[in-house]
Amino acid sequence: MKQPIGVIDSGVGGLTVARELMRQLPKETFLYLGDTKRCPYGPRSEEEVRAFTWQMVNFLLEKNIKMLVIACNTATAYTLTELQETLNIPVIGVIEPGARAAIKFSRNKRIGVIGTEGTIESKAYPNALVAIDQNIRVNSLACPPFVPMVEDGILSGPKAEGIVSNTLQPLKEMNHIDTLILGCTHYPLIKDLVQNEMGSHIQVISSGEETAREASLILAYHKLLEKGNASPVHEFYTTGDIEKFRLVANSWFEEPVRILKSVQIEHVPSSAY
């Protein structure tokens, strides 16, 4: 029996990481849990984020996962170390992989970070960047409107463009970064809007690809890579509105979801934790 990999997020944003994981690890089975009912996590206290994250983790541990991917920057900032020290399975987050990717692409060592209030206040990205290269200069900006916009499926059009333009204006006025980290896994769903607003001279980084690469390396190191040839059956869970979740999932996965007809999206009430 295949042992799955668990992926958790505060909502639909982690689907951007899950898609990259599935692309790079096509033999693996994934269980995705998005806490859409209590999203966004950004404005919440560290204690709330830690409690909610542990509830999601415990739900997936009952399904015998072999690895946990925290596809939420806020949850990564507040719980990664604790989870790594407590659980007996590999646990990875999205912040360090994103930081490494940004440093790789930056030419002038000036990097911007956009994220939720919680992620920005935690200073997790500046700490991760400077830990790698002390010469890096970081400009951070909290973007509270972005997660609700994505969760509501507002991914394009004049309304979305207006929200993105107004929110990013303070960062544009700084005008010296050459690389921008999307410090929330919801943001790749509006990456084109962000790119258009910031300009083609800015390298926009999402952490999904680097996170998936790290997951593959860790699985190989622990000899946990799936070797069978049976097609994986992924499961998607949400604590909130099933149809809204399904709509975003289908729009993001597009062809892979149509091919994987066995994908299941189930409702998980918060009380079930």
Residues labelled as active-site residues: 72, 184
Q: Which of 100, 43, 35 is nearest to 74 (CA)?
A: 43
d(CA 172, CA 119): 20
Q: What is the DSSP letter of 28?
A: -
Cα separations in angstroms, 157 against 135, 184, 192: 39, 21, 12
* C-beta contacts of 241-249 below 8 A and 24+ residues apart: 241/36, 242/266, 242/267, 244/36, 244/151, 244/152, 244/153, 245/12, 245/34, 245/36, 247/153, 248/12, 248/15, 248/150, 248/151, 248/153, 248/189, 249/12, 249/15
In whole angstroms, what is the distance from residue 204 CA to residue 167 CA?
A: 16
3-state helix, strand, coil in the chain (%, to 5): 50, 15, 35
Return binding residues. 9-10, 41-42, 73-74, 185-186
Residues that constitute the known binding site for substrate: 9-10, 41-42, 73-74, 185-186
Amino acid at 248: V
Buried residues in 106-123 as b, exposed as e (16+ CB within 10 A): beebbbbbbbbbbbbebe
